[in-house]
Structure 1
Amino acid sequence: MTPHIRAEKRDFAKTVLMPGDPLRAKFIAENFLEDVKLVTDVRNMLGFTGKYNGKEVSVMGSGMGMPSMGIYSYELINFYDVENIIRVGSCGAYGKDLDLYDVILAQGACTNSSYINSFDLNGIYSAISDFELLNEAFNVAKKLNIHTKVGNVLSSDVFYQSDMEDYKKWQSLNVLATEMETYALYLNAARYNANALSILTVSDLIGTDKETTAKEREVAFTNMMKIALELV
Structure 2
Amino acid sequence: MTQAPATGRSALVTGGNRGIGLAIARALAADGHRVTVTHRSGEPPQGLSGVICDVTDAASIDAAFSQVEADQGPVEILVANAGITDDTLLLRMSEDTFTSVVDANLTGAYRVAKRAASGMLRKRWGRMIFISSVVGLSGGAGQANYSASKAGLVGLARSIARELGSRHITANVIAPGFVDTDMTQSLPEARRTEIVNQVPLKRYAEPSEIADAVAFLASDRAAYITGAVLPVDGGLGMGH
TM-score, L = length of structure 2: 0.37
Question: TM-score, normalization: structure 1?
Answer: 0.38
User: Larger % of strand: which?
Assistant: 1
Using CA pairs under 8 Å that are at least 6 residues apart, name the structure with larger relative contact order, 1 or 2: 1
